Amino acid sequence: MSHHIAVGALLVECNHFGGIPTDLDSFHRTQFLQGDDLLALDEGTLGGYFEVLCDSKEEFSIIPTLAATACPGGLVTDEAYAQIKSTLLSELESARDNQQLDGVLLALHGSAAAESHSDLEGDLLAAVRNLVGPSVPIVATLDLHAHITQQMIDHSDVLIAWETYPHRDARETGVRGAKAMADILTGKLKPTMAMGIAPVLVGAILGATDGDGPFARTMKLAKEIESSDEVYSTSAFLVHPYLDAPEMGGGGLVITHDNQNLANQLAQEIAEFYWEQRFALEPELYEIDEAIELGLAHAGTVVLVETADCCGGGAAGDSVQVLPALLALGPAVSSVIPVVDQLAASACHAAGIGATLDLQLGHRHDPKWGKPLAVEATVVNLTDGRFIYQGGIWDGCEGNMGPAAVVKVAGVFICLASFPTYEWCGEQYSALGIDVTQMKFIVAKNPMNYRMAFEHCSENFMVLDTSGPTPATCRHLPYKQKVRPAFPWDPELENPIRLLQ
C-alpha cells in the first residue's frame, strides 16, 4: 500500500528586537516554491526528505505543498504568514479530502515569529493538526536554535533538529526526519517525546558543536543517549535568544519508543547538563576602542566580531557603530566593514565607479541602534550583489544582496548591500572584490561563521560589546515577555528545568 506524505517548508529565523520585517518579497528573494517545483530540490532538508521517500522499499508518494525560505529578519508580516499558512493548509485539505494523506513532513526553523503569533511554528503545527486529525503523523525538522514550545510538542509526533553549528547538516536532518515518518507509518516507531528546557539565554558565540565547548559537550551527551536501543532520537537546543517569548531556553529533546517516563528522564538529564554549562556560554567582550588598541599592538589581521548586527540572527546589518573608530585610524590602516544601506548603494550605482559623493551611512533600515554617519566616499566597485554560497545549509544556492557597492573612506572599504544576507564563509566580501588578507581589521557581523571565513588570514578574533538586536550577551535586551527567571540574570536557581511532554 502506498503512503501519501505531504511535504513542505517554512524556514525563517525571526527577531523581536529589530531587523527588517520579513514580507513576501523576502521569501521570494530567497525561496518560494509551490507544488511540483518542490520536487526539483535535491539539496537541503527537502533534498534529504526526497532521498528517503524516493529510495525506500516501501511505497511513498509525495504531495509537494509549499517551500518558503527567507533570510533571518524581523517578524514575518501577518500578510506573508497568512498566505503561506493558507497555501499549505489548502494543499493538505485537498489531499485529505481525496483520502490521500497519511503523513505530514515539514521543514521548519523553530524560532520564527509573525506579527500576531510569537510562536509561529506552534500556531502552524496546531492548524495542521486541526486539519489532519490525531491519527495522521506530523514530523517536523528544526534548527538547533529553535524555541521549543508546549504547542509545538502538543501538535507534532516527532521533532528532530540539526546537530551541527555551524550548520552543515540540513540534508542529513531531512533524512532523519523522513526516516522517522517512514518508521511511524510502517509500525517501527511509536514515538513518545519530551523536552527539558534550561532557562539559559545566551548568544551563539560559544555555541559551536565542533571542538569541546559547552554546547559541543551538551550535543555529545545527547548523542550518547541516542545510541541506546530504547531511544529513537535526541536533539540538543541552544535557543535563538532574540525572540521575546515567555519561558525560552535550551536543553534536550528526547524521543523514545513508547516510553514517556524514559523520555522525560533523559530530557531532564540533558537539560540539567546544559544548565551546568551556562557560565561557559557567556563570551569575553571588548569595547570598540579597546579592541582596536589591542589589535594595533598585534601583528597581522584582526577580526572585530560585531555580532550585535548579525543578519543571520535577524538584524538589519545596517549598523555603523564601529566605523568612526576605523576611520580615525587614517588612510594608512586598511579595514573592511559590511553595511546594509539600500539608499547609499543605489546612490553609488547612480554615481558610478570613481565618483566621490556625500553619503549618510547606516541605521536607516533599523534606526533604533544609532544614527547615520556622514562621509565623503569614493566608489571603488559596483555589482548586482549576487553570489553563490560555498557550503552550509545553502551550499550552491544563490545569495542576493541586491545592488551592491564598495566605497572607500580613508583606509576603510565599506561594503554596501541593498538587502541583508546570511553570512556563511565570507562570500559577500569575495563577491565584492575585497581581498581580506590585505586588511588590518575585518569587521564580521556574525557570531560563529567568521571563524570559517577568516581563519585563513587571522588568528585574532575579538567579540565587540556593541548594541543591536543580536548582541553577544542578552543581559541588556529589553524583553517584555516573562523570560526570567533565567541565566544570565538569575545565575543560581533551584530546580531550573522545565519539562514539556
**Minimum distance from CB of 78 to Zn ion (Å)?**
24
Q: Quick one: DSSP state of residue 10?
A: E
Nearer to Zn ion (CB atom), residue 170 or residue 308: 170
Tell me which stretch binds Zn ion (CB under 5 A): 22-30, 70-78, 90-98, 135-143: 135-143
**Minimum distance from CB of 70 to Zn ion (Å)?**
14
Nearer to Zn ion (CB atom), residue 170 or residue 407: 170
Beta-sheet strands, E only, within 389-477: 398-400, 404-409, 412-417, 441-444, 460-463
**Minimum distance from CB of 188 to Zn ion (Å)?**
30
Nearer to Zn ion (CB atom), residue 312 or residue 370: 312
Tell me which stretch binds Zn ion (CB under 5 A): 65-73, 137-145, 148-156, 370-378: 137-145
What is the DSSP code string of 71-125? -SBSPBPHHHHHHHHHHHHHHHHHHHHTT--SEEEEEE-S---BTTBSSHHHHHH
Nearer to Zn ion (CB atom), residue 170 or residue 404: 170
Tell me which stretch binds Zn ion (CB under 5 A): 4-12, 142-150, 332-340, 404-412: 142-150
Distance in angstroms (rounded) separating the CA atoms of residues 360 and 344: 7
**Minimum distance from CB of 466 to Zn ion (Å)?**
21
Tell me which stretch binds Zn ion (CB under 5 A): 143-151, 353-361, 470-478, 485-493: 143-151
Q: Is residue 91 within 8 Å of residue 63, measured between CB atoms?
A: yes
Strand partners, 302: 441, 460
Amino acid identity, position 415: C
User: Which burial class, exposed, middle or buried, applies to 150 when counting CB atoms under 10 A from its CB (0-12, 13-18, 19+)?
Assistant: middle
Tell me if 91 contacts Zn ion by CB under 5 A: no
> How far is the CA of 191 from the CAs of 153, 181, 232, 234, 486, in angstroms?
12, 10, 8, 12, 30
**Minimum distance from CB of 301 to Zn ion (Å)?**
27
Q: Nearest-CB residue to Zn ion?
A: 145
**Minimum distance from CB of 145 to Zn ion (Å)?**
4
**Minimum distance from CB of 420 to Zn ion (Å)?**
16
Closest CA to 109 of 162, 156, 65, 64: 162
Q: Which of 3, 85, 145, 278 binds Zn ion (CB under 5 A)?
A: 145
Residues 216-235 that bind Zn ion (CB under 5 A): none
Name the grid cell of 40: 526539483
Helix, strand, coil % (nearest 5) of the chain?
30, 25, 40
Nearer to Zn ion (CB atom), residue 432 or residue 444: 444
Tell me which stretch binds Zn ion (CB under 5 A): 92-100, 141-149, 428-436, 483-491: 141-149
**Minimum distance from CB of 119 to Zn ion (Å)?**
17
Tell me which stretch binds Zn ion (CB under 5 A): 133-141, 144-152, 350-358, 427-435: 144-152
Taking residue 292's Cβ as centre, other Cβ atoms within 10 Å add up to 24
Nearer to Zn ion (CB atom), residue 85 or residue 145: 145
Nearer to Zn ion (CB atom), residue 335 or residue 449: 449
Total of chain residues touching Zn ion, rule CB under 5 A? 2
Closest CA to 468 of 237, 313, 336, 330: 313
Name the grid cell of 372: 547615520
Tell me if 423 contacts Zn ion by CB under 5 A: no
CA 384, 25, 45, 273 torsion-angle sign: positive
**Minimum distance from CB of 56 to Zn ion (Å)?**
29
**With b meaning 16 or more CB within 10 Å and e meaning fewer, what string describes 439-448?**
bbbbbbbbbb
Tell me if 143 contacts Zn ion by CB under 5 A: yes
**With b meaning 16 or more CB within 10 Å and e meaning fewer, what string describes 405-418?**
bbbbbbbbbbbbbb
**Minimum distance from CB of 468 to Zn ion (Å)?**
18
Tell me which stretch binds Zn ion (CB under 5 A): 140-148, 150-158, 363-371, 474-482: 140-148
Residues 330-389 that bind Zn ion (CB under 5 A): none
Nearer to Zn ion (CB atom), residue 208 or residue 320: 208
Helical H segments across 360-499, by residue range: 427-431, 450-454
> How far is the CA of 425 from the CAs of 36, 351, 436, 454, in angstroms?
32, 30, 12, 8
List residues near Zn ion by CB under 5 A. Answer: 143, 145
